[in-house]
Structure 1
């Protein structure tokens, strides 16, 4: 890491620290922008990574997409170009040097606006790329990022300047080594954008059964082609993708609502509670009831501390 980038990362870390002060997820007054802080390493954190750019200003994190492992810290940034069920884990953090992250969510429309106003050449014939990647952070991007976050100290400027700075940040991503992965999901007509349509269908109806032939029709592909392109984009099959969505939502329900295991299994689309429990244990390491008791115990312990 160059001295210039090190200095920029340090300034970004200090700014995030000033605007958070405590652990957790912090939304900001800038639409789509949030900060994340952890003062200790974490166990696996399950969730759906929406289209977003994450820059670690301090600390280190690993994100698991199926069997793909992405490790990134202050020298890197991570991008997800579609909704993806992932497992994240903060691997370097302490009370003195907390994990600090900048997260900027974006839409396909924003990507299209950047492409339409730039000279980036778009190809519809490229094979689908993985919808998650890590790239090296460059000074130009960090300059735009810092200009964006500083608007939090000048809220009257946010409506006018934030869209401009966000556009510049996305332009830098598109110009980067893996920018084509982001470009593909925004441009209609190529295989990646058609897989995006299938992902949206599964995500909106994760609790319903589907036939693979129906998904292939949405993508205007053969079943074999759908499987190949879907796995290339997401690192998993459509069935595996749906299963992860179901189990993550089930865990959220069990933790936040007064519902039993059987009822939860039915609500997320399982016909068999025993199958649900087996797959839940395989994904989270514990049967549903034990897992929720364990999570609540950790939460209660943090409250006492």
Structure 2
């Protein structure tokens, strides 16, 4: 039975009112629930680069576009976005105004929370062996919106947060696991699955992003052949291990240049590049300008690489 469009729209409006109230002004606002953030923007934005950690994002008003490698994901109030592994992305708010600001919530989660729900509910049975992308957009439904609204409403009674927030968060994750693309979230929690092993490789690359990448060592770490590792890594991240490392390096370089006003060549060496010219070339390919020009642009526009 199809859900009432009016019912969904009513719940989206209720969520928008709550997010507007608890954000108050433009920015990313932490809350009394440590993993929950309220996000508000009265303007469209330039692309902001970041490593997106596992999270659920639900937009109540406005729209956003996320770019992963060469793939574009656009979502708004009728959708929700789930990122199940650490992924280097760029995100841009594409619909927002002072009259109708962009309003979004982000709920961070840990893979072990997903593991516990799967083990207790038996949701791991019947999953396909296919390795899926670690990011997906799916259609919002009233059951998920109900749980999300109850979570945000807990901010009205902070004394209830310690007891009730963990229960509602479990329900939210359970609803996602039961959704049409639940397998894409389940895969990171299934010990021995290809995606589970790719998460280990991602952790190693992130930890040692400034060091030379040795595919054979990574493959041995997770008991895969080099070709199998490459294939499954691309299934999860939309890029090769080398491309993933390059994005991590360049994002970290940009952060260092912004925060420390450091010399570009020195930053290039610090993130693992041996050649300043190669660093400048790849930096310009990713961000549109070489390091010095990019820093001038960012400081003139006042843009910050916040998450």
- TM-score range relative to shorter protein: over 0.9
Q: Secondary structure at the match of 1:269?
A: coil
Alignment of 1:134-213 (within 5 A): 134-213=137-216
- Partner of 1:237 in structure 2? 240
Listed one character per residue, the Cα deviations across residues 200-252 of structure 1 (whole Å, up to 9, x for unaligned) are 11111111112110111122111111110000000000000000001001101
* 2:26 maps to which of 19, 23, 28: 23
**C-alpha displacement of 1:121:** 3.5
Deviation at 1:101, TM superposition (A): 0.7
Pick from 42, 61, 66 the counterpart of residue 64 of structure 2. Answer: 61
Query: Any conservation in 1 of the 2:124–2:190 contact (CA below 8 Å)?
Result: no
- The answer (yes or no) to whether the contact 2:128–2:183 under 8 Å persists in 1 is no
- Name the structure 2 match of 1:284: 287
For 1:79, what is the secondary structure of its paired residue?
strand
| Distance (whole Å) between structure 1 residues aligned to residue 229 and residue 263 of structure 2 | 36
Distance (whole Å) between structure 1 residues aligned to residue 297 and residue 122 of structure 2: 53
1:303 paired residue number: none
Structure 1 position 92 matched with structure 2 position 80: no
Partner of 2:225 in structure 1?
222
Shift of 1:120: 1.4
Distance 2:8 2:128 in 1: 36
Q: Aligned equivalents of 1:22 and 1:291: distance in 2?
A: 28
Work out the CA distance in 2 between the residues paired with 1:105 and 1:255.
26
Between 1:161-170 and 1:216-225, the stretch displaced more is 216-225
- Give ranges in structure 2 of 5+ residues lacking alignment: none
Partner residue, 1:36: 39
TM-score (norm 2): 0.95
Q: CA deviation at 1:35?
A: 1.3
Distance 1:218 1:125, change over 3 A: farther
The yes-or-no answer on 1:52 pairing with 2:55 is yes
Contact 1:124 1:190 in 2 (8 A): no
SS of the equivalent of 1:208 reads coil
Q: Deviation string for 1:273-301 (max 9, x for gaps)?
A: 1100000000000110010011001118x
Q: 1:13 aligns with which of 11, 16, 29?
A: 16
Q: Distance in 1 between matches of 2:183 and 2:127?
A: 11
Cα distance in structure 2, aligned partners of 1:109 and 1:184: 12
Gaps of 5+ in 1: 301-305
Give secondary structure in 1 for the equivalent of 2:210.
coil
2:13 match: secondary structure? helix
Match of 1:261 among 264, 272, 284: 264
